[in-house]
Chain A
Amino acid sequence: MTNWQTDIIPKWLEEAKTYPTKALLYMAGEVYAEQARRLETEKGKLDGMMWSPEQWNKI
């Protein structure tokens, strides 16, 4: 699995020709990592709700 933030984006940052492009690439890496964190949280939330007996009674 590609680790964008450590393996790829730093190289693109060096090759970026403008400061705003560097900012965009850096932020894209941050957004990617935050998406992954939020996906884990949402999955955990869903798992938690599915295992709640209180929710079973509503079905």
Chain B
Amino acid sequence: MRTIVYIAHPDVTKSSSHQFLLSSGQANSEVVYVDLNQDYQAQNGSFDSQAERKRLMEFDRIIFQFQLYWYQAPAIMKIWLDAIFDTEDYNDAFQQSLRSKQLGLVVIAGVKAEHYQAGGREGRTLSELLSPYELLARHFGMHYLMPFTVHQFHYMDEPQKFSLMMRYACFLETGEASSFRNLQYYILNKLENLSDDELELSATDQLLMDMFINELQDQADDLDELTDINEAW
């Protein structure tokens, strides 16, 4: 499945959170990134709608990645959406091709997750704020993915950033990061494919690594089996 990520930010080079996610995605997956603002500036303040639609049709999973500014995506996201989804411009083939695609969001928020709820400081859930994207997906018959959210990136310590990197990469690769089952198989697959360029182990450590991977796999199998039994009971 091919994934394209559209980043909406006034200047990605100055955003440490976007830079971190960008590096995470590039290091762990084959996704294609598009910096919307850079493209817009390069084309003298416009988007080539036809070329953009043609590129979009080549991918199966479409991700919009942005920071919330006053509860919304940066303006460049809307400019791009209006250019691409101009009802007087696009044709049936484009509309038809969207039906088999997934639409996902990566949303970066400066405040804690718990503030986005009824009674919380912000008083609305992120699902409510992001509902226009869900409706867009529904309108075009796309499969809307559960959004991947990042809260208070600047307060994250190293272990939290390690976790963010892998969960984000898992989201880009599989379209899902909230399922533990999915995450464990993603990690297992990555471990099995570690190269010497990434981690050069002694013969003893390699044996230990094989044991570790086997134990991870065994626990994953046991967990699947027990969960199935409990659900069927």
Contacts and interface: CB of A to CB of B under 8 A. Distances in A.
Contact of B229 (A8, A23, A39, A46): A46
Nearest to B159: A26
19 contacts: A2-B208, A8-B208, A12-B205, A17-B198, A17-B200, A19-B27, A19-B165, A22-B162, A23-B165, A23-B166, A26-B162, A27-B163, A35-B216, A35-B219, A35-B223, A38-B180, A42-B223, A46-B226, A46-B229
Interface residues of B, number: 39
A45 B198 CA distance: 40
Interface string A20-59: 1111111110111011101100110110010000010000
A39 B191 contact: no
A59 B229 CA distance: 15
B51 interface: no
A11 B215 CA distance: 18
Contacts of A32: 212, 215-216, 219
- Main secondary structure, interface of A, reads helix
A43 B226 contact: yes
- Main secondary structure, interface of B, reads helix
Interface of B: 23-24, 27-28, 159, 161-163, 165-166, 169, 180, 183-184, 187, 190-191, 194, 197-201, 205, 208-209, 211-212, 215-216, 219-220, 222-223, 226-227, 229-230, 233
Contacts, number: 96
Contacts of B222: 39
A39 B198 contact: no
Interface residues of A, number: 33
A8 B27 CA distance: 24
Nearest to B228: A42
List 10 tightest A-B contacts by C-beta distance, closest first.
A42-B226, A23-B162, A35-B219, A27-B166, A20-B27, A26-B162, A21-B198, A23-B165, A31-B184, A31-B187
A36 B226 contact: no
Contact of B199 (A15, A36, A43): A15
Nearest to A58: B233
Contacts of B201: 12, 15
